[in-house]
Structure 1
């Protein structure tokens, strides 16, 4: 019987940086590995029989989109029947049409937990910068203006942080903010049980959370239900002078509504690490100096990227050996 084949659908210089040796080691006794070597979607499928025939599992990194595009329905429907697993490197998997994969009998995994600490650190930085307006101050120093034009900002101490989506990232973020003497409240569809091992209060409605929060942090996935779900209605219900932090996905926020809320003074500031059309950023966001902007830096550390890659490989190895997936996407559980 021929051995399973695993396709590494990633840029070899950026998508599998830290674990090339781990990849060879994990699969040496159970599977053969083949690297993506096609420059376009059509070339990928034209090359299938010659280069990828028999592949059963695909390791997918977001950087493969530059060659074959997103794993949308059209892509998934063209995959040969041998493919039964897409193991995605990333906690968010909105670039994969899970419904199309499920319909084809293809399982999908992702990398939650591996990204929690690094993304929470970015959210913490954005929170402090947005409250204290550190990005403005740094721009001043670099341009030789010192404190010219800077106004007193806000302390984090005793402020209330409202976390929308208290999963792994939200919990890691909450622990960081407690270190700044901030009060933590959160909203999920259901209260967490058992209760988290840190001090926090559950809000039974999003409106309740928005009314109480000095800082609102978005930590929810992007899907059909959440796309543009945070808009004018939600901003209007936030406290005057409050702050929005988004390290989730840019698509969950209505950018026009955010800019209006900032320009009107209803929001004090915002901190954004994600945008709907990355790497393109709305020029109006760039021009607004009330906003701290980062280029999707959530998991841009050597340590976290290694953890993510290892979890992808562990998912594939476990699946090949008939032990199931370690972190299957929620829609398939």
Structure 2
């Protein structure tokens, strides 16, 4: 096996020993724990990482390097063949550009499913009960404040847009509350994977759901997949939950829909320009807000780090990724 070094960008907080153990199979371990995009590009262009074969990066380390776009990919060493990403979402990596350059990319599905689905249910129940008003009032010494009755989840129709691992985990939890599950993907799941959920068109999902949960990836085709035309199709008083990516929703259109009460309440863990949040959401007491903490548990963070490292080791030893991003798998299937 030729020289195959590994590079860690950012930090490994919960599997530090396992990262160091990669040194048993890699020719060398590099680390880039802090810095800036300009500094990282400079180091790449000066050949400091010239023998790196696989690298570990994350959504958090994106703050150091910026997006893995064409400029950064061009600066990376020609030896690089694998990018092992810590995160279920990877919209800050230009996957087509990676594919064109012969670089394979992995992400961390499965590891994030349960924690993200738990937060989706937390937000959904909070939105159904319009709990934010009571949260605010009791801390302000106003007891119930501007109290309103909420809704039971039982017998409500939950529409899931994106029935992947997280969407399926949301469905499993929601069924325990007596909800009826329907979903839309680009393609219907095999019956064995639906577990009683009903497959419907995108338009029917919008028209007939009492609660809409967004659990799909962000890409050029899904940005603002929910905007004014989609809100216009929805039931009056629908509840929106988003634990996927903020730009899936046109935030200005959501604010308008909340103000008109087309959308009764919303539960949001992600935002279009996070960490900036639209003032119309911050000032609306009918919205439950969290600061993108869907995977923020000790257990899930460790599981994610271990999965990235498993991908890294597999890349170095077997020239194969365990959880390669689906876009690249599809492209290979079409060759």
TM band (smaller chain): over 0.9
Q: 66, 86, 91: which one pairs with 2:88?
A: 91
Whole-angstrom distance in 2 between the partners of 1:111 and 1:224: 21
TM superposition shift of 1:238 = 1.0
Pairing of 1:30-49 with structure 2 (within 5 A):
30-37=26-33, 39-48=35-44, 49=46
Whole-angstrom distance in 2 between the partners of 1:50 and 1:77: 13
Task: Say what the alpha-carbon RMSD is for the aligned residues.
Answer: 1.5
> SS where residue 52 of structure 1 aligns?
coil
Contact 1:27 1:317 in 2 (8 A): no
The answer as to 2:295 corresponding to 1:302 is no
Whole-angstrom distance in 1 between the partners of 2:162 and 2:179: 18
Whole-angstrom distance in 2 between the partners of 1:257 and 1:302: 35
Partner of residue 162, structure 1: 159
Whole-angstrom distance in 1 between the partners of 2:270 and 2:192: 29
Partner of residue 269, structure 2: 273
Q: 187, 192, 195: which one pairs with 1:190?
A: 187
Whole-angstrom distance in 2 between the partners of 1:31 and 1:156: 55
Partner of residue 180, structure 1: 177
> SS where residue 54 of structure 2 aligns?
strand
Contact 2:50 2:78 in 1 (8 A): no
TM superposition shift of 1:82 = 1.2
The answer as to 2:156 corresponding to 1:132 is no
Partner of residue 284, structure 1: 280
Whole-angstrom distance in 2 between the partners of 1:319 and 1:2: 13
Partner of residue 69, structure 2: 72
Pairing of 1:1-333 with structure 2 (within 5 A):
3-10=3-10, 12=11, 16-37=12-33, 39-48=35-44, 49=46, 51-196=48-193, 198-203=195-200, 205-333=201-329
Whole-angstrom distance in 1 between the partners of 2:42 and 2:26: 27
> SS where residue 63 of structure 1 aligns?
coil
Whole-angstrom distance in 2 between the partners of 1:61 and 1:208: 36
Provide, for residues 191-223 of structure 1, a one-character-per-residue CA deviation record: whole Å limited to 9, x for no partner. 1114336331111x1111122111000111110
Q: 1:197 to 1:166 in 2, by over 3 A?
A: closer
Whole-angstrom distance in 2 between the partners of 1:174 and 1:38: 39
> Paired residues, what number?
328
Structure 1 residue ranges, 4+ long, deviating more than 6 angstroms after superposition: none
TM superposition shift of 1:2 = 5.6
Contact 2:25 2:317 in 1 (8 A): no
> SS where residue 59 of structure 1 aligns?
strand
TM superposition shift of 1:37 = 4.8
Whole-angstrom distance in 2 between the partners of 1:189 and 1:300: 29
User: TM-score w.r.t. structure 2 length?
Assistant: 0.94
Whole-angstrom distance in 2 between the partners of 1:224 and 1:197: 27
Partner of residue 333, structure 2: none
Flag structure 2 segments of 5+ consecutive residues without an equivalent: 330-335
Contact 1:77 1:100 in 2 (8 A): no
> SS where residue 8 of structure 1 aligns?
strand
Whole-angstrom distance in 1 between the partners of 2:55 and 2:5: 9
> SS where residue 56 of structure 2 aligns?
strand
Provide, for residues 269-322 of structure 1, a one-character-per-residue CA deviation record: whole Å limited to 9, x for no partner. 111111122211111111111111100011011100111101100011111112
Contact 1:111 1:327 in 2 (8 A): yes
